[in-house]
Amino acid sequence: MISLNALVMFVILPMLGLSVVITFIRLLLGPTVADRVIALDLLTVIGVGIIAAYSIGTNEAAFMDIAVLLAVLGFLATIAFAYYIERRTR
């Protein structure tokens, strides 16, 4: 039987790391500003996932506060970028 800590450290975190690489490529190659904003938002969400998975894997609950703070910051940044894109198209 595989433990939750081993599953997080050897399966989930490498998958999230691979998704960071793929999303970063999308960020660099995105033809429009909207594509890049979505990639940045996705990087924030993946970062929250990495922090949460690491917190579960190490049994350290203090990292969850950081994950929530990063999620709120990412949400506010997405709202600001959406406002910028809307104002730019008018």
What pLDDT band is residue 77 in, cutting at 50, 70 and 90? Answer: very high
Residue 61 lies in domain: 4-89
What pLDDT band is residue 29 in, cutting at 50, 70 and 90? Answer: very high
Read off the pLDDT of each residue in 35-57 and give the average, rounded to a whole number.
93
Give the pTM: 0.87
Read off the pLDDT of each residue in 46-56 and give the average, rounded to a whole number.
94
What pLDDT band is residue 2 in, cutting at 50, 70 and 90? Answer: confident
Q: What pLDDT shows up at residue 16? A: 96
Q: How many domains does the chain have?
A: 1
Please give, one letter per residue, the 3-state secondary structure of 30-89: CCCHHHHHHHHHHHHHHHHHHHHHHHHHHCCCHHHHHHHHHHHHHHHHHHHHHHHHHHHH
